[in-house]
Amino acid sequence: MSRRDQIRMNHDEVLAFFAVQKVINVATIGPNGRPHVAPLWYFPQGDKLATWTYGSSQKMANLRRLPEATVLIEDGDSYETLRGVSLETDVEILEDTEVVATMGIALMQRYAGGSPGDPAPDELKAFIHGQAAKRVGLIFTPTKTVTWDHRKLGGTY
């Protein structure tokens, strides 16, 4: 078995990794052809990742031109603890304000420690609906996935 095969995450491990991590780094292609990388909060949707962002952001200008991105989620602070998932993705852009508001509520609940489907307080709903008009939803659908979990090597190289 190759080292690459030894450190690869299986599907269930990837989904568990998505569930515990908090930040994705999203790379899009800027107008000059160079990568533009931005961190975003996200929430998992099965094999897909979802988030929202300002409609006037550079990443949105890039995604309107080319709705593709590479998404990186990584963890670890030493070689033997490094793990991550790199996704080449197609990106769906959602602009319906109600859909975007629902996504915003899901994000805020996740980062505030709530559970999806929990009723959101009225103050949160009002704030999110105010934000949703300026934002768009993004769904990242993987077309290629690369994973690594160096913890599987047991401290050996």
Q: Where are the domains of the chain?
A: 3-151
What residues contact 78, with CB distance under 8 A and at least 6 apart? none
| Between 6 and 30, residue with greater pLDDT | 30
Sequence length of the chain is: 157
Residue 128 DSSP SS3: helix
pTM: 0.92
Topology classification of domain 3-151 = Pnp Oxidase; Chain A (2.30.110)
Angle between helix 122-132 and helix 97-111 axes, rounded to 10 deg = 130
The pLDDT tens digits of the residues spanning 77-102 come to: 999 999 999 999 999 999 999 999 99
**Residue 115 pLDDT greater than 70, yes or no:** no
The pLDDT tens digits of the residues spanning 14-62 come to: 999 999 999 999 999 999 999 999 999 999 999 999 999 999 999 999 9
Select from 57, 46, 49 the least CA-distant residue to 25: 49
Residue 111 — very low, low, confident or very high, per pLDDT cuts 50/70/90? confident
- The predicted structure's pLDDT at residue 3: 79
